[in-house]
Structure 1
């Protein structure tokens, strides 16, 4: 279909949508601030310009849009603009959910109801002000709903499991209309959206549990910075700090990066403690004994939990975040990500902004939910080896990605193919689906449900056998 025809069809919806809804076309509005703001994404990789952008203001708008264009025009759905798949060229349009940004907190039932345009900073503030915490992204500008649909890994993994484990119900616009799914209604769809939700419809509202946060539980963020020359000593200590029951309330990460204006990498270790400070001090003691050059220790209000990631949250640039799963922290493998940083720094001058980290957490809460509970298939993964590729141009980006993937293969070489994993929400389009949705049973069920709920591939062809 020609771009002009797509624009005409989109504009033809104006009289049927709510007054608050917006419709913009590339031919008329491409240079407008509103069009450019809607087009903005966390990365410029694969950034494209659609023929039109439609911003629904309510669920009825979404249902009407999907029903009117599902057989005519390809589309993608966008909320926070962080997902790799929220972009399309002039052959289609974007349904931008950013106007659907309402949320409420029910203290009596200890739940939050959230629309897809809500970003993590806003809901964290409201929940934190009431003495609660919630499983949300670690970045302020990520959609809570989009985050949850891909599983939802957070600071609270050890205490309450993945975000999908706290999902109570959801409203979903499917090709068959709007449905409610929960443990009592449309259970099969409820299972699927908990880990693969974006491939089955447009989720217009979720209800999820929130949890009381006691004053003595912090969270206490404790960050230590070391010179990279100490990596062997640090790796040896982290092999112990990252294990045992203590990790339930003290998840952590170890990061390799160079601070702005610096050309030498440092190792930054952070543990977030949901426990009294005196208990945290005992856990940190082996790391403190290594003599960090700097340490930052402070209690973080829940409203500010994303602040430390703000420098990585801005839109634009040639960036990719992707990750591979590991069973536990491995010091030798941690040393390889410093080697990777140094190799990219030396060989790819246009990719000097890369950041590499290993993020570990307890599996106790996750293992209480079996594979039958959701499409999230990584309940045996206690650590994510995460690579933020940040380059000045696409060629540098792609060269760094190639080296990054080599590191992933090395870090998983001791695992059989069936146990190798990639984080679903970090899908780049060319990754192996069997590593994002592991296990023959889970993938088979997803394919059966796709054939039932979206046989024509309106919400991408993912899981369709064609």
Structure 2
């Protein structure tokens, strides 16, 4: 299933030669480059509809600048594109789901965009134990394809994000309590390095395989991933969802119930929940409302022990249903057609890892939200809780992902119509909420890499253990010495020095 690639020696030689060539894009070099691409590859230039469609981002506040977009169809197309960018002294950047909201993306100027959506195939192999997934496929497509073949895996909670990119930063979501993080499903990866070399990364290359499962954005562009998949069974097939909507004054009662689940000695692997602070002006024109989605896997209904406490609180509204894995995200608005997947708004996430809910700090968060101007009232605060049973069973030092002890993922989710004059204020509000939530965790700040906004320290992203950072920095110097992959949570600066 894997394509032949340039040998390492050939690719390195080509890199040396091309970087000595003219650094200006010439008509002849451009034509030669286009002729080197596969028949299904396409090149889009600014001003075309295709270019506009390929470059629109989920968060409009991130504004990478591209001189051209290459819609790649094969691994060789990726290699040729990287070699061409290097020869013309241009940065390159991969685009799949286009959901990252880090400010590092604004450092991309006059770049060659590598649009991965033409590489979206998936194949089941190894007698049904693994699947080969190309680098441009979306999360919802993986769920749907595997479901049609009575299979599933650990998948993130939003249908429209790319599937492969979250793997590189860990990957939280449904089924992680049973199978581990998305990165824990990785068996091997085909990766194109900064010099155009294509390699296979697996347990035969243990250091790099360790690194790409948690810090992979720093090392290369993944064209194909082999992941573990699992049989659908009655105990994992059906999903019951019950949602309870409350006025803000019930927040302390809601999180008190949820805390009993977090601290239970025998926490159920089937139980997940999702708390949201959001605005509903028909209910309260000033204060956000509090929503808790109680999600239970493998049953026709959520067991009463988890729902009765919320019923007793007299919610202002309820919603419930039975669905499959692909349908869970519809309840939270994160399905492919849901409001959370709409592109064009300015959006940002600012992540905080927590172990339990701290009601006093969350009350401060609600108080901050009450001061939001009208332009920010489509924003929300997400308090994500996925079961973590299997995540914590996997040794922390076995992958680069640093936060296996974290139980909750908090983040202000700023959403507003694109308006540059509002960006600084939105940044300020999100930072205030983040700092307030950090205060309530009673531990050093740990930031989930896939949600990073761009002002985090290396320690906050990749862990405080010196050995972990030293190993990552050493590998970064070996595989990306010139910082070509520094547009997402970089480990080293462009000068090769620690950030």
Q: Residues 277-298 of structure 1, C-alpha deviation per residue, up to 9 Å, x if partnerless? A: 4662222221222122222221
Q: Partner residue of 1:219? A: 239
1:223 to 1:24, Cα distance in 2 relative to 1, 3 A = same
How many angstroms apart in 2 are the aligned matches of 1:70 and 1:396?
36
1:7 to 1:288, Cα distance in 2 relative to 1, 3 A = farther
Q: Is the 8 A contact 1:159 1:248 kept in 2?
A: yes
How many angstroms apart in 1 are the aligned matches of 2:442 and 2:216?
27
Asked if 1:405 is matched to 2:424, the reply is: no
Q: Partner residue of 2:14? A: none
- How many angstroms does 1:352 deviate by? 1.4
Q: Partner residue of 1:454? A: 480
How many angstroms apart in 2 are the aligned matches of 1:334 and 1:415?
11
How many residue pairs were aligned?
Answer: 455
Q: Partner residue of 1:395? A: 421
Q: Partner residue of 2:147? A: 128
Q: Partner residue of 2:8? A: none
- Secondary structure at the aligned position of 1:51 is classed as strand
Q: Is the 8 A contact 1:319 1:397 kept in 2?
A: no
- Secondary structure at the aligned position of 2:118 is classed as coil
- How many angstroms does 1:153 deviate by? 0.3
- How many angstroms does 1:5 deviate by? 3.9
How many angstroms apart in 2 are the aligned matches of 1:153 and 1:415?
19
Asked if 1:112 is matched to 2:138, the reply is: no
Q: Partner residue of 1:320? A: 348
- How many angstroms does 1:260 deviate by? 8.1
How many angstroms apart in 1 are the aligned matches of 2:108 and 2:387?
41
1:153 to 1:6, Cα distance in 2 relative to 1, 3 A = farther
How many angstroms apart in 2 are the aligned matches of 1:268 and 1:113?
37
Runs of 5+ unmatched residues, structure 1: none
Q: Partner residue of 1:426? A: 451
The normalised TM-score by structure 1 is 0.91
- How many angstroms does 1:49 deviate by? 3.4
Q: Residue 341 of structure 1: which of 369, 373, 377 is its match? A: 369
1:383 to 1:376, Cα distance in 2 relative to 1, 3 A = same
Q: Partner residue of 1:82? A: 99
- Secondary structure at the aligned position of 1:372 is classed as helix
Q: Residues 148-200 of structure 1, C-alpha deviation per residue, up to 9 Å, x if partnerless? A: 111110022222221111111111011351111112x2111111111111110
Q: Residue 322 of structure 2: which of 282, 299, 308 is its match? A: 299
Q: Partner residue of 2:358? A: 330
Describe how 1:146-161 pairs up with structure 2 within 5 A: 146-161=165-180
Q: Partner residue of 1:364? A: 389
Q: Which moved more, 1:168-177 or 1:128-137?
A: 128-137
Q: Is the 8 A contact 2:242 2:302 kept in 1?
A: no
- How many angstroms does 1:215 deviate by? 2.8
Q: Partner residue of 1:269? A: 292
Q: Partner residue of 1:56? A: 72
How many angstroms apart in 1 are the aligned matches of 2:206 and 2:198?
15
- How many angstroms does 1:353 deviate by? 1.1
Asked if 1:286 is matched to 2:303, the reply is: no
How many angstroms apart in 1 are the aligned matches of 2:34 and 2:356?
53
How many angstroms apart in 1 are the aligned matches of 2:430 and 2:290?
18
Q: Residue 267 of structure 2: which of 233, 246, 264 is its match? A: 246
- How many angstroms does 1:90 deviate by? 4.7
1:261 to 1:140, Cα distance in 2 relative to 1, 3 A = farther
- How many angstroms does 1:435 deviate by? 0.4
Runs of 5+ unmatched residues, structure 2: 1-18
- Secondary structure at the aligned position of 1:350 is classed as helix
How many angstroms apart in 2 are the aligned matches of 1:90 and 1:207?
32
How many angstroms apart in 2 are the aligned matches of 1:38 and 1:279?
41
- How many angstroms does 1:447 deviate by? 0.4
- How many angstroms does 1:269 deviate by? 0.3
Q: Is the 8 A contact 2:91 2:109 kept in 1?
A: no
Asked if 1:37 is matched to 2:53, the reply is: yes
- How many angstroms does 1:364 deviate by? 2.5
How many angstroms apart in 2 are the aligned matches of 1:408 and 1:383?
14
How many angstroms apart in 2 are the aligned matches of 1:7 and 1:398?
40
How many angstroms apart in 2 are the aligned matches of 1:153 and 1:10?
41
- Secondary structure at the aligned position of 1:459 is classed as coil
- Secondary structure at the aligned position of 2:467 is classed as helix
Q: Residue 405 of structure 2: which of 364, 380, 395 is its match? A: 380
Q: Which moved more, 1:304-313 or 1:73-82?
A: 304-313
Q: Is the 8 A contact 1:111 1:208 kept in 2?
A: yes
Question: Root-mean-square deviation (CA), in Å?
Answer: 2.4
- How many angstroms does 1:144 deviate by? 0.1
- How many angstroms does 1:332 deviate by? 2.4
Asked if 1:68 is matched to 2:87, the reply is: no
How many angstroms apart in 1 are the aligned matches of 2:61 and 2:217?
20
- Secondary structure at the aligned position of 2:190 is classed as strand
- How many angstroms does 1:234 deviate by? 1.8
- How many angstroms does 1:361 deviate by? 3.2
How many angstroms apart in 2 are the aligned matches of 1:227 and 1:213?
38
Q: Is the 8 A contact 1:47 1:87 kept in 2?
A: yes
How many angstroms apart in 1 are the aligned matches of 2:170 and 2:436?
25
How many angstroms apart in 2 are the aligned matches of 1:147 and 1:401?
23
How many angstroms apart in 2 are the aligned matches of 1:350 and 1:279?
37
- Secondary structure at the aligned position of 2:35 is classed as coil
How many angstroms apart in 2 are the aligned matches of 1:342 and 1:414?
19
